[in-house]
Amino acid sequence: MTAYRAPRWLPGGHAQTIYAALFAPCAAVRYARERWATPDGDFVDVDRVAGAPLAPLVVLFHGLEGSSASHYARAFMDAISRRGWHGAVPHFRGCSGEPNRLARAYHSGDSAEIDWMLRRFRAEAGAAALFAAGVSLGGNALLKWAGERGAEALAVVSAVAAVSAPLDLMAAGEALGRGFNLVYARHFLGTLKRKSLAKLSRYPGLYDAAVLARARTLREFDDVVTAPLHGFRGTDDYWTRSSSKPLLERIAVPALIVNARNDPFLPASALPSPGEVSAAVECEFPEQGGHVGFVAGAFPGRIDWLPHRIISYFELRA
């Protein structure tokens, strides 16, 4: 697979990020949806594309407020389907278009949720290879799972890949709290606040509605909603304990990490050094690409480089 090269007509991390999400052509994907009951009495929805018998299964964990309809999910599932593989996009709680039942939602360090999902996929895959990829928030949670499980992960998946993961949540959170990055933060906050207010109507007193309404950054939102809902003392505790970066040196399963150095969500200075990852981890940090951008080709561009890179990595381990 050739290294990523940004097209000259689309320079800069912000341009790559916004163009890929809003303007780059993306193939339509026909999904089949199923609902899984969670161990704690909630549910998640899983969207699938079918492949050939005994073909590998690729599970894709989406990013913050993402879904199977996100541009990167459709690009991945289209590429997987064209290879005759099976694909699945499990939605984190509340992200499939219907509110989840419990007070809890999802978060960047939700490796326990990743674990039960992957073990269920492993049981159904049988003799076929199982691969897992994660984008942004989903990538961080997946890498955290792989680091926590160590050699045990080898019995579940053949390899994992993470794209534009906020490996250091403290650095990423601070970056999203200033400058032009506040545009992204406000975009996320729009849906996060609506969901949180709807949940508050079902669970009165869960958190302070007035403080929630005043939240202008992800740090402020996480402090009033995400952290207390999921057992953290506050934003600093949540971001520190949920970051995957300290666990990268414990990963035993083959793992690919792709992060652009101009990703506006994570400063290049926060990317791990070779000494901070295990021998099982392969890092690719191209200079360009933005946050889940990686647009390629002449105008109007394509967003197929990224899925092809990840799938080619998995093919060597199928």
Say if residue 73's pLDDT is above 90.
yes
Residue type, 148: E
Q: Taking residues 138-151, what's their average pLDDT?
A: 98
**For residue 45, what are its two tokens?**
């929805």
Q: Taking residues 148-163, what's their average pLDDT?
A: 98
CA dihedral 111, 115, 116, 117 (to 10 degrees): 90
Measured between alpha carbons, how far is 234 from 221 in angstroms, rounded to an integer?
10
Query: With contact defined as beta carbons under 8 Å apart, do 247 and 168 qualify?
Result: no
pLDDT at residue number 27: 84
Confidence of residue 17 (pLDDT cuts 50, 70, 90): very high
Full set of structural domains in the chain with CATH: 13-167+243-315 (3.40.50.1820), 169-242 (no CATH)
User: How many Cβ atoms are within 10 Å of 269's Cβ, its own excluded?
Assistant: 8
Query: How many percent of the chain have pLDDT more than 70?
Result: 100
Measured between alpha carbons, how far is 216 from 182 in angstroms, rounded to an integer?
9
CA distances from 213 to 209, 210, 222, 238 (A): 6, 5, 13, 21
Say if residue 126's pLDDT is above 80.
yes
pLDDT at residue number 75: 97
Q: Clarify whether 136 is annotated catalytic.
A: yes
pLDDT at residue number 26: 87
Query: How many percent of the chain have pLDDT more than 90?
Result: 97
- From the candidates 168, 222, 263, 304, which is the catalytic residue? 263
Q: Clarify whether 168 is annotated catalytic.
A: no
In degrees rounded to 5, what are phi and psi of residue 106? -150, 165
Say if residue 55's pLDDT is above 80.
yes
Say if residue 95's pLDDT is above 90.
yes
Q: Taking residues 241-258, what's their average pLDDT?
A: 98
Confidence of residue 318 (pLDDT cuts 50, 70, 90): confident
pLDDT at residue number 296: 94
Q: Taking residues 187-199, what's their average pLDDT?
A: 95
pLDDT in tens, 273-296: 999 999 999 999 999 999 999 999
Q: Taking residues 249-255, what's their average pLDDT?
A: 98
- Region of poorest pLDDT, from 21-25, 81-85, 142-146, 169-173: 21-25
Say if residue 1's pLDDT is above 80.
no
In degrees rounded to 5, what are phi and psi of residue 184? -65, -45
Dihedral sign for Cα atoms in the order 45, 49, 53, 58: negative
162 forms beta bridges with: 134, 257
Measured between alpha carbons, how far is 312 from 66 in angstroms, rounded to an integer?
24
pLDDT at residue number 155: 97
- From the candidates 136, 164, 243, 244, which is the catalytic residue? 136
Q: Clarify whether 230 is annotated catalytic.
A: no
Q: Taking residues 182-194, what's their average pLDDT?
A: 94
Q: What is the chain's mean pLDDT, rounded?
A: 96
CA distances from 309 to 122, 197, 210, 294 (A): 23, 39, 45, 11
pLDDT at residue number 11: 84
Q: Taking residues 89-93, what's their average pLDDT?
A: 98
